[in-house]
Copies of this chain bind each other. A is one copy, B any other.
Amino acid sequence: MTDRRSLHLFARPEGLPKDEDFEMRHEAPAPLADGQLRIAVRWLSIDPAMRVWMSEQKSYWPPVGLGEVMRSAGIGEVVESRHPRYPVGTWVSGMTGAREELVCDGKGFRAFDARALPHPAWALSVFGATGLTAYFGLKEIGQVKPGETVVVSAAAGAVGSTVVQMARNYGCRVVAIAGGPDKCAWVKDELGAHEVIDYKHEKVAKRLAETCPDGIDVYFDNVGGEILDAVLRRLKLRARIVLCGGISQYNATGVPVGPANYLSLISARARMEGFVVIDYLDRAGEAIAEFGPWAAAGKLTSRIDEVAGLDHFAEALRRLYTGQNFGKQVVKV
């Protein structure tokens, strides 16, 4: 058997993650003990929070230690098994780490039927943590109601595109913000957003005024920065801002920029609330019960943006922060 590769955190990045912040290591495959399985990792989920995990910042999880395998969700196939519940050929999903192969006892992994999905990586998008993030963010934190005006940033991204479709399916008016004509066209034509704002070519504040003349009920924020500030100026009474991420801030090397217009929360009696998807993992069934029928009926789709090869992991990650990804960013291992 040839050596297997794994990607280790080598240095905490300054600004955008560089290739040199990681180190590729090679290791001979270990033999299996009783109760163990060998997973050949097929796709890795590339997530904005990775930049936080790479830093020294205290978060909902501890930082990845220097020298440790880079933390990553992934899916793979069981290629060898001494575990009764995971026969060879089973597809599994879990925190594989950025590696080609993993030997484990199956704990923390979930088997799924990859053939039932349009693409196996849907288990990392709408039917993975991405989907749960959209679902619980919009429903639990956003308390969204039919007929409300919902604004979504990073709307062509993994979470954003799911939120757009959810809000549309719930009967909301959806104003989606994305970068560039291709993404905007997809968000409008394929995902069904009622209005799109191209933040790369349009003035977001002006376009929000045009598209949300009566104000905004729910803002699903994936980006922070200027867009959050523009939304704060147009809140309806008792609006909810769902703080999902702040991708515009993760790579800031200086002091991050706070939302200057946050005092609008007072006059609008509005709320800004953060959440972390891991709190909802035990309620995944609720999301799947809603998403399954939607996907079957063509009312929920997912676009997979694939970069090939573990050695392109850092590149794939940079795509997120530079807005190059179109749909769910994954690495094909």
CA distance A229 to B257 in the complex (A): 11
Q: Is A324 an interface residue (CB 8 A)?
A: no
Return the contact of A279 from the options B249, B256, B265, B269 (Cβ within 8 A).
B269
Q: Is A271 an interface residue (CB 8 A)?
A: yes
Q: Is A322 an interface residue (CB 8 A)?
A: no
Return the contact of A243 from the options B229, B244, B246, B265 (Cβ within 8 A).
B265
- A272 and B269 contact, CB distance less than 8 A: no
The 8 A CB mask of A233-260 against B (1 = contact, 0 = none) is 0000000000111100100000111111
Query: Does more than half of chain A's interface fall in helix, strand or loop, or is it mixed?
Result: loop
Which B residues lie within 8 Å of A257 (CB)? 258, 260
CA distance A44 to B224 in the complex (A): 41
Chain A contributes a number of interface residues (CB within 8 A of B) equal to 33
The 8 A CB mask of A75-116 against B (1 = contact, 0 = none) is 000000000000000000000000000000000000000000
Return the contact of A256 from the options B58, B59, B256, B263 (Cβ within 8 A).
B263
Given A243-B265, A258-B260, A271-B273, 17 new contacts (CB under 8 A): A59-B267, A243-B263, A244-B266, A246-B266, A255-B260, A256-B260, A258-B258, A258-B261, A259-B262, A262-B262, A264-B274, A265-B272, A266-B274, A267-B276, A268-B274, A271-B271, A271-B274
Instruction: Show the binding face of A for B, using Cβ within 8 Å.
Output: 58-60, 224, 229, 243-246, 249, 255-276, 279
